[in-house]
Structure 1
Amino acid sequence: CIIRWGFPGIKRRVFLRFLMRDIQSIRIQVKEGLYPRRILYMEIRGQGVIPLTRTDEKFFTPREIEQKAAELAYFLRVPIEVF
């Protein structure tokens, strides 16, 4: 299960529950340019993709995001996809 904080308000807490075997892959989205972004996602069967890092975090180097993805994929025993 994943618990995240959403937008401020009454229903701020986001609670996602799924089976470990439903996790299909760990995705890395890389956008280079003037404002580079590197976002880590988890793809779950039937629920789509869930961002694991904030979309506005700019301080991850390519090596750091790759290391985080590799550790998580190894632990979950799923492949890594890069987009």
Structure 2
Amino acid sequence: MNSENLIRRYVITGSRRLSNYWWASVVFLGAIGFLFTGLSSYFGQNLLPFLQVQNITFFPQGLVMSFYGILGLLLSIYLWLTIIWNVGGGFNEFNKKAGAIRIFRWGFPGKTRCIDISYSLKEVEAIKVDFKQGVNPQRTLYLRVKGKREIPLSQIGQPLTVEEVEKQAAELAKFLQVSVEGL
């Protein structure tokens, strides 16, 4: 058995998804629009040529629009920082050669910026599949470890099809030589 068959690594995307770039940009542009409208009403002149604010008084409309603009900018900064820091991104590594499982994720800056969990392959009891149907369906793979809780292996975002989840669970269970639960 060659070394390629002994190590499996699954990359987890995290917050660097197209939808997050889209929403961070939309919120930023909307916030700038609200803020410039509020400031234009305060100064009594159009700060942007396409804004016509002569009918907007500063109190209360302009003040509220400025407030919404500032809140939108703060939300946009938060979204962009999570994208830059790649919060939630990382990998799941299953290494038969070293006899270890490593789950790595990036978090927010601070003491827990890097979340790095390692387990021995001997501690793995099963791969669990959890299906939740409804308006917001969730299909999640869990790694069940002896005497410990279930560790999620799936990434957040667009839910996979039932077939894809079953295929991933079967491949991983076969690789780790453990059972699959929840199917």
TM-score bucket of the superposed structures, by smaller chain: 0.7 to 0.9
The counterpart of 2:166, out of the listed 48, 60, 66, is 66
Give the superposed CA RMSD. Answer: 1.6
- Matches of 1:82 and 1:30, distance apart in 2: 8
Deviations 1:4-61 (A, max 9, x none): 224312222111122111100001110011111101100011331110012x333300
With the length of structure 2 as denominator, give the TM-score of the two structures: 0.42
CA distance in 2, matches of 1:80, 1:25: 6
TM-score relative to the length of structure 1: 0.86
Sequence identity percentage:
30
Deviates more, 1:58-67 or 1:69-78: 58-67
Q: How does 1:35-46 map to 2 (within 5 A)?
A: 35-46=136-147
Amino acid at match of 2:117: L
Matches within 5 A, 1:38-57: 38-54=139-155, 56-57=156-157
- Say whether the 8 Å CA contact 1:31–1:37 is kept in structure 2: yes
Of the three residues 114, 123, 136, the one matched with 1:22 is 123
Q: Structure 1: where are the runs of 5+ without partners? A: none
Structure with the bigger percentage of helix: 2
Which deviates the most, 10-19 or 62-71? Answer: 10-19
- Paired residue secondary structure (1:18): strand
Alpha-carbon separation, structure 1, partners of 2:147 and 2:114: 21
Highest relative contact order (Cα 8 Å, sep 6+), 1 or 2? Answer: 1
* Structure holding more strand per residue: 1
Structure 2 unmatched ranges of 5 or more: 1-100
Structure number with larger C-alpha Rg: 2
